[in-house]
Structure 1
Amino acid sequence: MSVLVEVCIDSLESLPIAEKAGAGRIELCSSLATGGLTASAGYMKAAARVANIPVYGIIRPREGDFLYSSDDVEIMLEDIHTAHKMGLNGVVIGALNAQGHIDADVVSAMIKQANGLGITFHRAIDHCASPFDALEFLMSHHVERVLTSGLAKRADEGMDTLKAMVEFCHGRLGIMPGAGVSPENAKQIVDFTGAHEIHLSGKTTRASHMVYRNEKATMGNGDSDFDITVTNPDTIARAIAAVRG
Structure 2
Amino acid sequence: MINLEVCIDNIESLFTAQQAGADRIELCGALALGGLSPSSGLITQVMKHASVPVNVMVRPRDGDFLYSSHEVEMMLHEIHTAKKYGMHGVVFGALDKQAKIDVDILKSLMRAAEGLSVTFHRAIDCCEDAHLAIDTLLSVGCDRVLTSGLASNAELGADCLKSMVSQSQGRLIIMAGAGINANNVAGIIKDTGVSEVHLSGKVSRASQMENILNCGYLPEFMKISVTSADKISTVKQAIQGF
Q: TM-score range by the shorter chain?
A: over 0.9
**What per-residue deviation string (whole Å, max 9, x for no partner) do you get for residues 158-193 of structure 1?**
000001100111101010010011111111111110
Offset at 1:134?
A: 1.7
Question: What are the ranges of 5 or more consecutive residues in structure 2 without an aligned counterpart?
Answer: none
CA distance in 2, matches of 1:147, 1:215: 41
In the alignment, what sits opposite 1:241?
237
In the alignment, what sits opposite 1:205?
204
2:87 is aligned with 1:88 = yes
CA distance in 1, matches of 2:213, 2:59: 32
**Larger mean Cα displacement after TM superposition, 203-212 or 52-61:** 203-212
Offset at 1:114?
A: 1.0
Offset at 1:135?
A: 1.0
In the alignment, what sits opposite 2:175?
176
**What per-residue deviation string (whole Å, max 9, x for no partner) do you get for residues 191-228 of structure 1?**
11001100001001222221111355666xxx341211
2:27 is aligned with 1:28 = yes
CA distance in 2, matches of 1:103, 1:214: 49
CA distance in 1, matches of 2:97, 2:108: 18
Percent of residue pairs identical: 48
In the alignment, what sits opposite 2:11?
12
**What per-residue deviation string (whole Å, max 9, x for no partner) do you get for residues 120-174 of structure 1?**
0000111112221121121122211100000000111100000110011110101
Partner amino acid for 1:63? D
**1:6-85 paired onto structure 2 within 5 Å:** 6-85=5-84
Task: Check conservation: 2:5, 2:26, Cα contact below 8 A.
Answer: yes
**What per-residue deviation string (whole Å, max 9, x for no partner) do you get for residues 14-62 of structure 1?**
0111011110000000111111000111211221121111100011111
Task: Check conservation: 2:27, 2:57, Cα contact below 8 A.
Answer: yes
CA distance in 2, matches of 1:74, 1:218: 39
Computed over aligned residues only, the root mean square deviation of the Cα atoms, in angstroms, reads 1.2
**1:227-238 paired onto structure 2 within 5 Å:** 227-238=223-234
CA distance in 1, matches of 2:12, 2:54: 14
**1:101-116 paired onto structure 2 within 5 Å:** 101-116=100-115
**1:85-234 paired onto structure 2 within 5 Å:** 85-214=84-213, 216=215, 223-234=219-230
Partner amino acid for 1:145? R
Which consecutive segments of 4 or more residues in structure 1 shift more than 6 A?
none
Offset at 1:117?
A: 0.7
Task: Check conservation: 1:10, 1:30, Cα contact below 8 A.
Answer: yes
Partner amino acid for 1:108? K
- Normalised by the length of structure 1, the TM-score is 0.95
CA distance in 2, matches of 1:21, 1:121: 25
Partner amino acid for 1:4? N
- Normalised by the length of structure 2, the TM-score is 0.96
CA distance in 2, matches of 1:139, 1:156: 24
Offset at 1:115?
A: 2.4
Task: Check conservation: 2:145, 2:173, Cα contact below 8 A.
Answer: yes
Question: What are the ranges of 5 or more consecutive residues in structure 1 without an aligned counterpart?
Answer: none
Partner amino acid for 2:92? I
Equivalent position SS for 2:132: helix
Task: Check conservation: 1:18, 1:233, Cα contact below 8 A.
Answer: yes
